């Protein structure tokens, strides 16, 4: 009887612990920084030998490696376990999440992304949330659980809390090894094979001396200056590239009509160590080229009809808009009438006559079978300008490291994703960097990347450039052998609080090390804005000057303004481009004259000028006109008067738009939907001069709660504004003078204050 009782107790204990079946295996050697392999029990049991081999490989590389395994029920359970490991591990450097690890879908944190701005109320949460492992690697953040997805059951939704840190500063690096289900086959076998590939990669003593970069169609305004100045980045970050023409290839979509096949050749070239893609993308596609025009007028017309690879053409717009209305229940007659009206608009927009649309009308009369055949043909033609999952299945990519500076290519949590197909292919690729949602075109692509040529692990680099969407997929501990007289592996975690160490590296011969030193000293509050500004003035390295501008953008405004003036005239296009963008986000009239000088006298830098032109909406227009008067005498166009007229027209047009937007936002008789749309627009286009009116709106109870919430949230985007302190003071005053604020509005105002501090 006693045995039966004990057996029952044992069974009950086993059942109660099933969800808590967690085990931490300590490192078998003690050296260097700590690293944690996180894995679910099922994957561990199926791949046990490979997991231990991978553990041994990371330890041989100088990491004391833990194995944390369990039946993970939700992300918070795992996060709590990681906190425990972090407290006991020495200099914990990073983690890798292997197998079926729950996915945190983060909300209320779009300010931590570079570009993602989807309305979280309007769109389904599966699409409007950001799949992000910052949930696991940034322990400064705090989250509130919302719920679990009923379809993608490993998706768990969390709001970023309003009273925690509002800026990313990952505690350690992280990466995902998650098998994309659409590849088919046995996922455990695939993970085991991938880990074997990682072990083999760790044995290689390979210097980063063979690189390929690629600029895709429609990226950074297809600016040739942007592409040309990439050479500055490459020379400063990768100083050990060989002298052969094969050691460095800077490819551009213009080089061939169907550039994807050239890229296939490069991706399979065995000596290539890393490839950097700068392009547009989606979850399952890399957007490579535009539709090539051939030799005849009809070829050009066909290209014009269907767009240029990324932007839709008039035929595509007609088809999309009419299909929408059919779906909404319009009759065939109503759709036809709508199409005629839309055709008139498109004729004006695309500068064509109605005859241009004859082919579109003919297509509408095709039978379903004929239309299907035509669509299939068009689909195959479009496949010539993209790389998709069909291309990558079984493909043999050779670069150990692949960067996807593109939207959605790093969507590790989706069942079929570009980055997953790369690492689980039969080639040598063991780690990719990509984004789970869309990403800003003007992101500093190569920030801090130079440390990987000095022996730093890919994970160490990625931790320095955190965004909510930016991830590593694969092995974060992979590293190239240093080509220098130093080995930077593990140095950041080992010296995280050592100001003397970083100050000693401020004059390192390697700009990448200087950049890390500047960053670490700034985080430790051991360097002044004046010293950083002097560094920006004196440094011969464009990447260091860019780092200085980045750091100064969040310090005192007077020094920031001086940095903007310097940045607008910098030799390195990336600095000029970032400064041009920040001029609008800052709004201080003291930069207007320099900004307009660059705009009218250096038009060849298309992306710089694009960023300046977008500033015309949101800055002080009278001050802009006065600044332009000082710039006019410097202009040297043959048609100066025409250029002056264009600029003045642009300023006037944007002033009218500014006034209309502010009027709409403040109009209490307007529809909330329209007012909110304009309020949300001010997140990207900060209307600095309207800050007092916007603060009054938040405090005014005659406005709906939804209006006040959206305005309070939008003010949190004014992080670079020269009037930022007014927003902080105004929000604090609202909290102090209104004890009866609705809880959600109070929380939103508090979050805005935390974001701006």
Least confident of 59-63, 149-153, 271-275, 723-727: 149-153
User: What distances in angstroms separate CA 647 from CA 593, 612, 681, one per listed residue?
Assistant: 13, 12, 23
Q: Which of 158, 156, 134 is nearest to 145 (CA)?
A: 158
User: What distances in angstroms separate CA 307 from CA 317, 348, 350, 734, one per listed residue?
Assistant: 9, 16, 11, 50
pLDDT at 295: 58
Structure-token pair, residue 363: 């297509």
**Which residue spans within 132-233 are E strands per DSSP?**
143-148, 155-160, 176-177, 211-215
Least confident of 177-181, 223-227, 554-558: 223-227
pLDDT at 4: 41
Kindly report, residue by residue over 30-88, the tens digit of the pLDDT. Answer: 889 999 999 999 999 999 999 999 999 999 999 999 999 999 999 999 999 999 999 99
Kindly report, residue by residue over 428-483, the tens digit of the pLDDT. Answer: 999 999 999 999 888 889 999 999 999 999 999 999 999 999 999 999 999 999 99
The C-alpha atoms of residue 525 and residue 518 are separated, in whole angstroms, by 10
Is the predicted pLDDT of residue 7 greater than 70, yes or no?
Answer: no
Residues with Cβ within 8 Å of 687's Cβ and at least 6 positions away in sequence, in order, are: 618, 658, 661, 662, 694
Over residues 663-690, the mean pLDDT reads: 96
Indicate the SS3 state at residue 367: coil
> How many other CB atoms are found less than 10 A from the CB of residue 203?
10
Is the predicted pLDDT of residue 2 greater than 80, yes or no?
Answer: no
Beta strand 431-435 with 470-474 is antiparallel
Over residues 732-740, the mean pLDDT reads: 96
pLDDT at 286: 96
At 14, the pLDDT band (50, 70, 90 cuts) reads very low
CATH domain 528-658 topology: 1.25.10
pLDDT at 307: 64
User: What distances in angstroms separate CA 460 from CA 174, 400, 420, one per listed residue?
Assistant: 9, 16, 21
Least confident of 102-111, 248-257, 522-531: 248-257
Residues with Cβ within 8 Å of 310's Cβ and at least 6 positions away in sequence, in order, are: 217, 218, 280, 287, 290
Residue labelled with tokens 């033609």: 381
DSSP label of 653: H
At 296, the pLDDT band (50, 70, 90 cuts) reads low
Mean pLDDT (the chain, rounded): 92
Over residues 647-666, the mean pLDDT reads: 96
DSSP β-bridge partners for residue 36: 66, 95
- Within the chain, all domains assigned CATH 3.40.50.1460 are found at 204-289+387-470
DSSP label of 355: G
Residue labelled with tokens 């910052």: 134
The C-alpha atoms of residue 129 and residue 131 are separated, in whole angstroms, by 7
Over residues 242-260, the mean pLDDT reads: 90
Is the predicted pLDDT of residue 316 greater than 90, yes or no?
Answer: no
Residue labelled with tokens 């007659």: 333
Is the predicted pLDDT of residue 634 greater than 90, yes or no?
Answer: yes
Helices (H), 306-367: 314-327, 332-350, 358-364
The distance from CA 413 to its chain's CA centroid, rounded to whole angstroms, is 16
- Edge-to-edge strand order for the sheet containing 103-107? 130-131, 103-107, 155-160, 143-148
Evaluated on CA atoms 453, 457, 458, 461, the torsion sign reads: negative
pLDDT at 370: 84
- Within the chain, all domains assigned CATH 1.25.10.10 are found at 528-658
Is the predicted pLDDT of residue 8 greater than 80, yes or no?
Answer: no
pLDDT at 33: 96
Kindly report, residue by residue over 418-437, the tens digit of the pLDDT. Answer: 999 999 999 999 999 999 99
Exposure on the CB side of residue 34, measured as CA atoms within 13 A = 19
Is the predicted pLDDT of residue 20 greater than 70, yes or no?
Answer: no
pLDDT at 202: 97
Is the predicted pLDDT of residue 339 greater than 60, yes or no?
Answer: yes
Evaluated on CA atoms 40, 44, 50, 53, the torsion sign reads: positive
pLDDT at 16: 34
DSSP β-bridge partners for residue 432: 402, 473
CATH domain 204-289+387-470 topology: Rossmann fold (3.40.50)
Assess contact for 437 and 404: CB atoms under 8 A.
Answer: no
Any idea what the Cα angle at residue 435 is, between residues 712 and 85, rounded to 5°? 85
Assess contact for 17 and 10: CB atoms under 8 A.
Answer: no
Residues with Cβ within 8 Å of 241's Cβ and at least 6 positions away in sequence, in order, are: 208, 209, 210, 211, 234, 247, 248
Over residues 204-208, the mean pLDDT reads: 92
Is the predicted pLDDT of residue 3 greater than 70, yes or no?
Answer: no
Assess contact for 198 and 475: CB atoms under 8 A.
Answer: yes
Which residues in 677-694 are b (16+ Cβ under 10 Å) and which e?
Answer: ebbbbbbebbbbbbbeeb
Assess contact for 733 and 743: CB atoms under 8 A.
Answer: no
- Share of residues in the chain with pLDDT > 70 (%): 95
Beta strand 143-148 with 155-160 is antiparallel
Is the predicted pLDDT of residue 701 greater than 80, yes or no?
Answer: yes
Supply the DSSP string of 224-273, one letter for each residue: HHHHHHHHHHHHHH-TT--SSTTTEEEEEGGG-TTHHHHHHHHHT-TT--
Is the predicted pLDDT of residue 1 greater than 50, yes or no?
Answer: no
The C-alpha atoms of residue 528 and residue 151 are separated, in whole angstroms, by 51
At 17, the pLDDT band (50, 70, 90 cuts) reads very low
The C-alpha atoms of residue 712 and residue 696 are separated, in whole angstroms, by 10
DSSP β-bridge partners for residue 600: none
Least confident of 344-348, 507-511, 549-553: 344-348
DSSP β-bridge partners for residue 472: 433
Least confident of 113-122, 162-171, 665-674: 113-122
User: What distances in angstroms separate CA 459 from CA 180, 448, 456, 463, one per listed residue?
Assistant: 21, 12, 8, 6
The C-alpha atoms of residue 264 and residue 89 are separated, in whole angstroms, by 43
> Nearest 5°: phi and psi at 249?
-125, 120
Assess contact for 745 and 708: CB atoms under 8 A.
Answer: yes
Beta strand 92-98 with 33-40 is parallel
Indicate the SS3 state at residue 532: helix
Evaluated on CA atoms 653, 656, 661, 662, the torsion sign reads: positive
């Amino acid at each position: 009887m006693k045995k039966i009782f004990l057996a029952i107790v044992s069974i009950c204990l086993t059942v109660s612990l099933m969800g808590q079946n967690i085990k931490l295996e300590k490192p078998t050697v003690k050296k260097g920084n700590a690293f944690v392999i996180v894995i679910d029990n099922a994957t561990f049991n199926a791949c046990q030998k490979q997991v231990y081999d991978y553990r041994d490989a990371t330890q041989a590389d100088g990491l004391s490696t833990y194995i944390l395994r369990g039946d993970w029920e939700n992300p918070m359970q795992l996060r709590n376990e990681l906190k425990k490991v972090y407290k006991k591990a020495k200099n914990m450097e990073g983690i890798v999440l292997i197998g079926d690890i729950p996915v945190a879908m983060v909300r209320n944190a779009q300010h931590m992304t570079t570009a993602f701005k989807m309305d979280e109320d309007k769109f389904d949460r599966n699409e409007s949330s950001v799949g992000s492992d910052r949930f696991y690697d940034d322990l400064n953040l705090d989250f509130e659980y919302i719920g679990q997805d009923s379809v993608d059951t490993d998706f768990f939704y969390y709001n970023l809390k309003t009273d925690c840190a509002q800026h990313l500063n990952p505690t350690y690096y992280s990466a995902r090894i998650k098998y994309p289900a659409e590849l088919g086959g046995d996922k455990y076998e695939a993970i085991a094979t991938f880990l074997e590939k990682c072990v083999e990669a760790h044995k290689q003593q390979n210097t980063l001396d063979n690189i390929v970069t690629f600029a895709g169609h429609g990226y950074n305004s297809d600016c040739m200056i942007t592409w040309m100045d990439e050479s500055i980045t490459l020379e400063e970050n990768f100083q050990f590239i060989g002298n052969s023409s094969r050691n460095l290839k800077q490819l551009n979509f213009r080089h061939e009509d169907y550039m994807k096949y050239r890229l296939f050749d490069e991706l399979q070239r065995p000596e290539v160590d890393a490839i950097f893609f700068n392009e547009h993308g989606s979850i399952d596609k890399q957007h490579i080229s535009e539709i090539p025009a051939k030799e005849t007028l009809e070829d050009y017309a066909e290209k014009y009809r269907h767009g240029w690879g990324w932007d839709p053409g008039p035929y595509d717009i007609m088809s999309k808009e009419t299909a929408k209305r059919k779906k909404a229940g319009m009759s065939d007659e109503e759709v036809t009438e709508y199409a005629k009206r839309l055709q008139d608009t498109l004729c004006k927009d695309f500068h064509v006559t109605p005859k241009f649309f004859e082919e579109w009308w003919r297509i509408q009369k095709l039978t379903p079978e004929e239309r299907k055949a035509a669509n299939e043909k068009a689909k195959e033609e479009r496949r010539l300008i993209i790389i998709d999952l069909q291309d990558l299945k079984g493909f043999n990519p050779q670069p150990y490291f692949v960067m996807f500076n593109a939207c959605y290519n790093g969507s590790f949590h989706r069942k079929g994703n570009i980055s997953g197909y790369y690492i689980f292919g039969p080639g040598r690729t063991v780690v990719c960097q990509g984004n789970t949602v869309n990403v800003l075109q003007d992101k500093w692509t190569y920030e801090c990347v130079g440390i990987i040529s000095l022996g730093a692990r890919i994970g160490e680099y990625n931790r320095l450039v955190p965004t909510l969407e930016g991830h590593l997929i694969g092995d974060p501990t992979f590293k190239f052998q240093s080509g220098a007289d130093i080995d930077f592996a593990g140095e950041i975690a080992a010296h995280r609080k050592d100001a003397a160490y970083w100050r000693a590296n401020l004059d390192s011969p390697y700009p990448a090390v200087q950049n890390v030193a500047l960053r670490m000293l700034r985080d430790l509050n051991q360097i002044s804005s004046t010293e950083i500004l002097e560094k920006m003035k004196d440094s011969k390295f464009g990447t260091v000057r860019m780092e200085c501008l980045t750091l100064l953008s969040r310090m005192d405004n007077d020094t920031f303004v001086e940095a903007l003036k310097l940045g607008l005239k910098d030799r390195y296009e990336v600095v000029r481009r970032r400064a041009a963008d920040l001029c609008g986000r800052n709004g201080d009239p003291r930069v207007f004259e320099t900004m307009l000088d660059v705009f009218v006298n250096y038009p060849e830098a298309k992306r710089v000028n694009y960023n300046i032109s977008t500033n015309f909406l949101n800055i002080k227009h009278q001050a802009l006109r006065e600044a332009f008067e000082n710039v006019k005498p410097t202009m040297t166009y043959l048609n100066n008067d025409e250029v002056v007229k264009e600029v003045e027209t642009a300023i006037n047009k944007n002033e009218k738009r500014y006034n209309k937007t502010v009027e709409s936002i403040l109009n209490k008789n307007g529809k909330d939907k329209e007012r909110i749309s304009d309020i949300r627009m001010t997140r990207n286009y900060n209307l600095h001069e309207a800050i007092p009116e916007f603060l009054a709106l938040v405090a005014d109870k005659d406005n709906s709660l939804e209006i006040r919430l959206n305005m309070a949230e939008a003010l949190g985007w004014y992080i670079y504004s020269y009037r930022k302190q007014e927003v902080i003071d105004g929000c604090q005053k609202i909290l102090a003078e209104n004890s009866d604020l609705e809880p959600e509005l109070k929380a939103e105002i508090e979050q805005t204050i935390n974001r701006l501090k």
